[in-house]
Structure 1
Amino acid sequence: MALPWALHGDGKTVAPTEIVAPEERLSWPRTIGLGGQHVVAMFGATFLVPIITGFPPSTTLFFSGIGTLLFLIITKNRLPSYLGSSFAFLAPIAAATDVGGIPLALSGIIVVGALLAVIGVVVNLAGTRWIDALLPPVVSGSIVALIGFNLAPAARDNFALSPGIALITLAAVVLSAVLFKGLLGRLSIFVGVVVGYVAAVIAGAVDYSAVAAAPWVGLPTFTAPAFDLGQLPIYLGFLPVVLALIAENVGHVKGVGQLTKRNLDPLTGRALFADGLSTVIAGLGGGSATTTYGENIGVMSATRVFSTAAYWVAGVVAILLGLSPKIGAVIFTIPPGVLGGVTTALYGLIGVIGIRIWVENEVDFSRPKNQLTAGVALIMGIADFTLALGGASFGGIILGTVAAIVVFHVMNGLGRLRGTD
């Protein structure tokens, strides 16, 4: 069977005015090298999620690789993307784990994935206009921002466990983002983890006992989900994450389309469905939920190579890494101080993504409906408001999400009736 990629030019170089299109590739040695770059780009963020949540890192890497290959198949090799761990799930996973452990958290991941897959089917049939109407930029930006800022207490708690290591890690993140250009500059989180980890090793804060006992090759740890219909508030707490995933996937499609100068919008439904299916599969086996990765867009922008062949390489490499329990054990040795430093930056960056949505869409904050939509939602999310109803407790993310949608549409509707919109 013929491979689906045509060789670009001589397979060795890319002219300054050209790009390597998704359906093209460079020579296989160069393609494998580019795939390795994508693995490095996704690795820092992808392994942080299981470290923070307590999920097995090897399992997460394994399912991120499978999810990436599924994504490429479903989008017909036309939309280059790596599906790494999603940070949008961190807060609801923490809430679910406190109540019913990892199995309950996995069931919440599956619910979100299934809903995203259904939305993908709807978008594929009906287009994205209804999403734009329900979630205008001020609403979607507010939801994404509050998901990130809601995690601030978790970063604070880890930071307090080892302030010195945390400060070194945070400083490394900030300095690498400023001092380095190209790939290293885009991987500031990863650089911060490496520098913080080295500092922790020097300080004697790393325990390698589990690494020595772990085999080099073996199946990842699979965990079955546990559904509990009595935990409705937990499942409702997961639902706002769907909105963040929609924003991430739509943004990815538009970003790649802009860089390749192609209209990739018709693939939006397929992208949402693929991400949803990948998340469901990960949840069924004990892996972290997935999403498209901006870090890998940075690699494509820098190299001008958008070949999906490189992502096939990256997906296969991730699967192979997931089949090494020793690698997972090494990842689990990262101490809390390093996590405290890196999550202080990371959670803030997640929140800023929401603000970036406002900026890029020129949201007018001189208008009261936009001011109150963002203001009310952010306060509820950051302060983690809770509401108890009939024995059920709803947290800041779900309340802030509902507030953003309701406040905007009520004020917008009333404004139109009065003729003041």
Structure 2
Amino acid sequence: MPAAETISIYCKDTSNAVQVPESMLLYNITDEPPWFLSILLGMQHFLLLFGGTVSLPLLLAPHLCISPKDSGVPFLISSIFFVAGLDTLLQLTLGVRLPIIQGSTFTFFGPAIAILQLPRWQCPSESAIESMNYEDRQELWFSRVREIQGAIILSSLVEVLLGFTGAVGFLVRFIGPLTVVPTIALTGLSLFGVAAPWAGRHWGITIFAIALLTFFSQYAPRIRWRCVSVAWEERIRTACQLFPVLMTVVIAWSLCAILTAAGALPDDPKAYGYSARTDIKLDTLSQTPWFRFPYPFQWGWPTFSLSGLSMISGVLAGIVESIGDYYACARIAGAPPPPTHAINRGIGMEGLGCVLAGIWGTGSGTTSYSENIAALGITKVGSRRVVMCAAVVMMGIGIFTKFAGLLATMPDPIVGGLYCGLFGMISAVGLSQLQSVDLNSTRNLFVLGFSLFMGLTVPHWVSEHKKTLDTMTSVSQLNQVVQVLLTTSMFVGGFLACLLDNILPGTPQERGLTAMHSSVSTEDGHLIREIYHPPGFLIRLFNRCCCTSYLPFWPKPHKEEEPID
């Protein structure tokens, strides 16, 4: 069927249909696939966020002074998965209610590293750490996690306040595609320095993983499998379309296992390609318990300091990214653009989710995952039930600690290959927001190009001239906050883009605001209520109080609306 043709995606009321391209969705936001398929598709979402979720503890471990002989990394991974699943359930039921996965975010990574690089948190030498007893090694990284916990909790309260007071809904009018694009694109582009070392540990395996991911996600669904029946051909296409990451990981990991068993990979830790072996992290797996229930303040009570305010840069970048994600997710999932109350509630719940992440001590905050929004387009599945299954799977994996330990043993080059695909997808999701912007306008090209360029240039310069900034004021904590902000690419690029987009003359159509905030025509707003309103029992409970009409995060009751089931 030609790409221009459309099909009707129906919600509960078949008189209210949203016209979306047929090539876009197999299941829309309100569809409910069979449970077994929903669980498998939920696993797919889990694998897509796996790269970013697992990589953060791995990248933070050296700065947290975690010894390889301890189980610190698996414990952090399991805690992240548990909190990510909990936050996803909260977002699906009480938040914006779009099929968005909540996961640990790299917007908090830069500020966290900047805090841990302060003199008081510098790690002892590796030999000194290894000579410590178990209790001292634990306290060494516990104290650093507690500092990050305090910074996350303190800064996330700002996001809670901005969301539930309606400030975000007010600021949305100033945040257009030209602000969203640099913020999200720089989140991915600035991570090239993270992906390169992992990928470069064995470029052969990395390229093989990238080739598999490209084949399964782009080529396999389009190939005519003439050697099998029509029914099996359709099954193969669907499997490749739904599970490209799963098949990539299984095949690439199997290849590494075969090469390891055959002695084709070096056994010298200093040799090139050693990281591709599958037997070098087995100690971590053996030391990890089978089950461990993550609990609040498991590393001790968080500590608070003024330098923790620098984490606000990650919060602000996450807010801008999430607003863009809401619109992108709604477009891909066949839903109308989110109303203001849903955006306020979504950001407020994300802030609450970050507070929970700080309480549990995950080492990072949580936010909507751009990779999984891109997965909605790749898999053509936008069902809310699938994301709910993914959330339950994540919480289960967070308790099943041995599985987190297994994931931590994945060969580095495979992780590097996933990074190249996932980080590139983050940037692409950001750039996809440009479709509503007039790119023939020199004004828009200037805003876009300047913000992207400065978002990479300023952090690079600041990171090499930190001593110059140290002499700005006599208040060292203030200098630290400024230093962290200016070394965060998405903050610099997003701030400059937002400033220029609002002070330079331009029409709403030219800036892409008209298309971004346009709504889908539906009878009596039934579709918007069905997708974005909280569950019906909460609507009936809260609407008994007359003050709910003044809450900026709660939908306003309308006489002409039908009761929600």
TM-score (norm 2): 0.60
Whether 2:93 is the aligned partner of 1:73: answer: yes
Distance in 2 of aligned mates of 1:357 and 1:68? 24
Contact 1:150 1:397 (8 Å CA) reproduced = no
Contact 1:225 1:286 (8 Å CA) reproduced = no
Of residues 153-162 and 174-183 in structure 1, the stretch that sits farther from structure 2 once superposed is: 174-183
Whether 2:493 is the aligned partner of 1:409: answer: no
**What corresponds to 1:338 in structure 2?**
414
Q: Deviations over 1:179-235 (max 9, x none)?
A: 233564476555544444333323331232332343333324843474342535xx4
- The secondary structure found in structure 1 opposite 2:103 is strand
**What corresponds to 2:282 in structure 1?**
208
Q: 1:58 aligns with which of 74, 78, 86?
A: 78
Paired residues for 1:236-385 under 5 Å: 236=310, 238-253=312-327, 255-256=329-330, 259-262=333-336, 264-265=338-339, 266-287=341-362, 288-294=364-370, 296-297=372-373, 308-363=384-439, 366-367=442-443, 368-381=446-459, 385=463
Distance in 2 of aligned mates of 1:48 and 1:404? 21
Q: CA deviation at 1:275?
A: 1.7
Q: CA deviation at 1:375?
A: 2.9
Distance in 2 of aligned mates of 1:75 and 1:407? 27
**What corresponds to 2:105 in structure 1?**
86
Q: CA deviation at 1:334?
A: 1.8
Identify if the C-alpha distance between structure 1 residues 346 and 307 changes in structure 2 by more than 3 Å, giving closer, same or farther: closer
Contact 1:114 1:280 (8 Å CA) reproduced = yes
Contact 1:186 1:298 (8 Å CA) reproduced = no
Q: Which amino acid aligns with 1:273?
A: G
Q: Which amino acid aligns with 1:58?
A: S
Distance in 2 of aligned mates of 1:346 and 1:21? 23
Q: 2:255 aligns with which of 184, 196, 199?
A: 199
Q: Deviations over 1:65-103 (max 9, x none)?
A: 111222233138x53333233243333334344444433
Q: 1:147 aligns with which of 178, 187, 193?
A: 187
Contact 1:141 1:358 (8 Å CA) reproduced = yes
Contact 1:47 1:85 (8 Å CA) reproduced = no
Identify if the C-alpha distance between structure 1 residues 128 and 186 changes in structure 2 by more than 3 Å, giving closer, same or farther: farther
Identify if the C-alpha distance between structure 1 residues 44 and 220 changes in structure 2 by more than 3 Å, giving closer, same or farther: farther
Contact 1:46 1:84 (8 Å CA) reproduced = no
**What corresponds to 2:164 in structure 1?**
121
Whether 2:188 is the aligned partner of 1:168: answer: no
Q: 2:39 aligns with which of 10, 24, 35?
A: 35
Identify if the C-alpha distance between structure 1 residues 24 and 398 changes in structure 2 by more than 3 Å, giving closer, same or farther: closer
Q: 1:138 aligns with which of 178, 195, 198?
A: 178
In terms of Rg, which structure is larger? 2
Distance in 1 of aligned mates of 2:378 and 2:423? 25
Contact 1:25 1:307 (8 Å CA) reproduced = yes
- The secondary structure found in structure 2 opposite 1:84 is strand
Q: CA deviation at 1:249?
A: 4.2
Q: CA deviation at 1:154?
A: 2.1
Distance in 1 of aligned mates of 2:338 and 2:176? 20
Distance in 2 of aligned mates of 1:259 and 1:122? 28
Q: Structure 2: state its 5+ residue gaps.
A: 1-10, 15-20, 59-72, 122-143, 222-237, 261-276, 512-565
**What corresponds to 1:231 in structure 2?**
307
Q: Which amino acid aligns with 1:66?
A: L
- The secondary structure found in structure 2 opposite 1:180 is helix
**What corresponds to 1:12 in structure 2?**
none
Q: CA deviation at 1:296?
A: 4.9
Of residues 52-61 and 85-94 in structure 1, the stretch that sits farther from structure 2 once superposed is: 85-94
- The secondary structure found in structure 2 opposite 1:93 is helix
Q: Deviations over 1:251-309 (max 9, x none)?
A: 33553366444453231111111122112102211224322345555676688776544
Contact 2:79 2:361 (8 Å CA) reproduced = yes
Distance in 1 of aligned mates of 2:461 and 2:429? 19
Whether 2:146 is the aligned partner of 1:103: answer: yes
**What corresponds to 1:13 in structure 2?**
none
Identify if the C-alpha distance between structure 1 residues 65 and 165 changes in structure 2 by more than 3 Å, giving closer, same or farther: same
**What corresponds to 2:49 in structure 1?**
45
Q: CA deviation at 1:327?
A: 0.5
Q: CA deviation at 1:322?
A: 1.2
Identify if the C-alpha distance between structure 1 residues 35 and 87 changes in structure 2 by more than 3 Å, giving closer, same or farther: farther
The share of aligned pairs that are identical, in percent, is 18
- The secondary structure found in structure 2 opposite 1:219 is coil
Q: Which amino acid aligns with 2:202?
A: S
Q: Deviations over 1:137-176 (max 9, x none)?
A: 3233222222322222222222333333333333333333
Contact 1:177 1:185 (8 Å CA) reproduced = yes
Q: Structure 1: state its 5+ residue gaps.
A: 1-5, 10-15
Identify if the C-alpha distance between structure 1 residues 230 and 130 changes in structure 2 by more than 3 Å, giving closer, same or farther: closer
Distance in 2 of aligned mates of 1:408 and 1:303? 32
Identify if the C-alpha distance between structure 1 residues 183 and 143 changes in structure 2 by more than 3 Å, giving closer, same or farther: farther
Q: CA deviation at 1:31?
A: 2.9
TM-score (norm 1): 0.77
Q: CA deviation at 1:312?
A: 3.7
Contact 1:64 1:84 (8 Å CA) reproduced = yes
Q: 1:159 aligns with which of 177, 180, 199?
A: 199
Distance in 2 of aligned mates of 1:111 and 1:240? 12
